Structures are given as C-alpha cells and as structure tokens.
C-alpha cells in the first residue's frame, strides 16, 4: 500500500503582529484527499494561519509547504496550486452569476478549450443551472456560498482552503455545502477548512483544536472525544439549575460546570467517586437531583475542558 502524500506540512509556524502572537509554534501535516478541520473561537489564529498557508501573509518564523512549495519562498507557486474561499463573501455582487464565473476563470487562467465545460460543471455543482443571469447580490446566502466554492475550484486545484465557509448560512445550506466538500475529497482534493461550529467539525476526517494561537489537541473527532477530555463528564438533571451552578463553582473536585439545555454538564476527575458526593453536596444547597450519570463528552465539552485548562496554566504563570 503506498505511503500517504502530505499536501500540507507545517513546522513550528509563528506569526507576530508587534508584541501580539497570533500563531504560536504550530506544527501539523494534512494528507492528500483529507478533510482537515481547524476548530477554534474567533480570534484563535485560524484565519491568520490560512492566510500564511495560501501565500498571502509571510510567517514571522517557522516552515510550511503547500503542494510541495515553500509558502515563504515561493508564495506565487502556492497560489497557483490551491483554491481559496475567504471568510467573507468574495464575489462581485453587482455581476451576474455567469460573469463572476468567467471572471474567476480568467483570474485562474483556465484554458479556453475546457472553459465552457468547467463553467457548466460549476453551475451544476452549485445547483445554479438556469440561474446564470441572476445578479449575484440577489442570491440567498447558501447559493452565494456554493457559487463562491465553484469559482474557487474552476481551475481544478488539488488543495482547497475554506475559511469559515458556512458562517451565516442556514443549517440546510450548511449540510449541502458539506456534501460538496466530501465529494471533492473523495475525488482526491485536500480540503483544509476553518470553523467555530462544533457540530460542523464532526464532518472532518481530523481536527486541530486551536486556542490563542496554539494547537491544544489533534486527532479524529472520535479520538478527541475519547482521549482528550481533561477529566470525566457527568450529566446532572436537577432543580433549580441556577442554584446548582452557583453551588458547584466552589464544590471540591469540580473542574467545570455548565448548563446544557435543562441539565448540567459537570467535569470531575473521577465520575464514579463524584456521583454520590455531588448529590449530597447539592442537597445541602436545597437542590433536588433527579438524575446523575457519566456520559460521553461532545466536541464542545472537550474544547471547553482543554481551553479551561489552558486558561488556568496561563493564570498561574509567574
């Protein structure tokens, strides 16, 4: 079986803006045909990393190659071999759908002999056949994002960078967009996507969790939920919730407590030991517990656990 090809290689990548470190010692590899997710809150360094990997921003230090090209030494070659879709809608709203497609085909130097076929493919992929003469600015959000994706891949790049591609898009359009992403990955295209939607991250083959410019975890969604949680997770159904949360802030061996719907998620070092103790503790505060059990964490639980630990470490630094 042949060795997997790495489309993206990053080693100790750093980007500073004055005294502010936006990306801090990032190292990772992304394989050909992989859907790789970059998950983190706004301001975590995701977009800055994408811009460096696309040859749009020069790293302060470290090393990265995309499609075999050094992003610092040969950014133009990088840009010729990738597709890029920015966080904000980047097409021209006052142009027709077909005019945007033709414009981007020219920018990407799509050969004239395959131009018509590529535009037909993009229209079909974006489900916009018959809508070629609509003004782009009048399209619904999901249609715009599909059109932007079509423009980004007209030149058939082997690596695609998507920066928060579904921000502001309704859930149904988001699902359809991810179906398109997986179709491209099945055809061998490497997809590097940033997101802050936890449920969206489940669609990725692997994930890097990013917080304050640093990678705090790396793995498949299943691996992260199984191995990366700092502590164990309890589900508690109780009344009243507000009093329970307040009481648990100072409870012994409670690492974190948060409201999830009509219940609480509680992070503790040992779930089995905590079950009896927590029930007794809450009863002393007038809280009635109807259910308490150990559950499997979600990606959101894992991310909150890891970032809470990072905040604690930062707070105790001399």
Please, which pLDDT band fits residue 36 given cuts at 50, 70 and 90?
very high
User: Taking the domains of the chain in order of start, what are their residue ranges?
Assistant: 6-226, 230-296
DSSP string across 115-135: HHHHHHHHHHHTT-TT-TTSB
CATH number for the region 6-226 comes to 3.40.50.300
Q: What φ, ψ does residue 194 adopt, rounded to 5°?
A: -100, 145
CATH topology of domain 230-296: Alpha-Beta Plaits (3.30.70)
Mean pLDDT of 105-125: 90
Q: What sign for the dihedral angle of Cα 233, 236, 241, 242?
A: negative
CA pair distance 88, 236, nearest whole angstrom: 40
Query: Hey, how many other C-beta atoms are within 10 angstroms of the C-beta on 123?
Result: 20
* Paired strand residues for 59: none
Judged against a pLDDT cut of 60, whether residue 317 lies above it is answered with: no
Question: Which pLDDT score, from 0 to 100, does residue 309 have?
Answer: 56
Helices 97-107 and 141-152: crossing angle in degrees, nearest 10, is 30
Judged against a pLDDT cut of 60, whether residue 312 lies above it is answered with: no
How buried is 231 (Cβ within 10 angstroms: 0-12 exposed, 13-18 middle, 19+ buried)? Answer: buried
CA pair distance 1, 226, nearest whole angstrom: 28
Q: Same CATH fold, 230-296 and 6-226? A: no
Please, which pLDDT band fits residue 86 given cuts at 50, 70 and 90?
confident
Question: How long, in residues, is the chain?
Answer: 318
Q: Please tell me the pTM assigned to this model.
A: 0.84
Provide, rounded to the nearest whole percent, the portion of the chain with pLDDT above 70.
94
């Amino acid at each position: 079986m042949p060795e997997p090809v790495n489309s993206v290689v990053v080693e100790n990548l750093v980007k500073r803006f004055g005294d502010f470190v936006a990306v801090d010692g990032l190292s990772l590899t992304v394989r050909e045909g992989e859907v790789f997710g970059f998950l983190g809150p706004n301001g975590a360094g995701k977009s800055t990393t994408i811009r460096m990997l696309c040859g749009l921003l020069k790293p302060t230090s470290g090393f990265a190659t995309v499609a075999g090209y050094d992003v610092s030494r040969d950014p133009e070659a990088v840009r010729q071999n990738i597709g890029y879709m920015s966080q904000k809608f980047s097409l021209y709203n006052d142009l027709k759908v077909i005019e945007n497609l033709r414009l981007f085909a020219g920018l990407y130097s799509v050969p004239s002999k395959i131009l018509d076929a590529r535009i037909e493919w993009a229209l079909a992929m974006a489900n916009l056949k018959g809508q070629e003469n609509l003004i782009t600015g009048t399209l619904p959000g999901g249609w715009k994002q599909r059109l932007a994706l079509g423009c980004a891949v007209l030149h058939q790049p082997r690596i695609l960078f998507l920066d928060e591609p579904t921000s502001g898009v309704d859930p149904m359009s988001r699902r359809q967009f991810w179906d398109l992403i997986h179709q491209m990955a099945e055809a061998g295209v490497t997809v590097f996507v940033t997101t802050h939607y936890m449920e969206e991250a489940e669609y990725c083959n692997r994930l890097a969790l990013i917080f304050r410019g640093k990678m705090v975890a790396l793995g498949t969604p299943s691996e992260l939920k199984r191995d990366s949680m700092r502590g164990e997770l309890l589900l508690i159904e109780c009344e009243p919730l507000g009093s329970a949360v307040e009481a648990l802030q100072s409870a012994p061996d409670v690492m974190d407590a948060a409201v999830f719907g009509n219940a609480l998620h509680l992070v503790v070092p040992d779930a089995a030991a905590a079950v009896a103790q927590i029930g007794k503790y809450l009863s002393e505060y007038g809280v009635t517990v109807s259910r308490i059990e150990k559950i499997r964490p979600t990606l959101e639980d894992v991310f909150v656990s890891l970032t809470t630990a990072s905040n604690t470490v930062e707070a105790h630094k001399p």
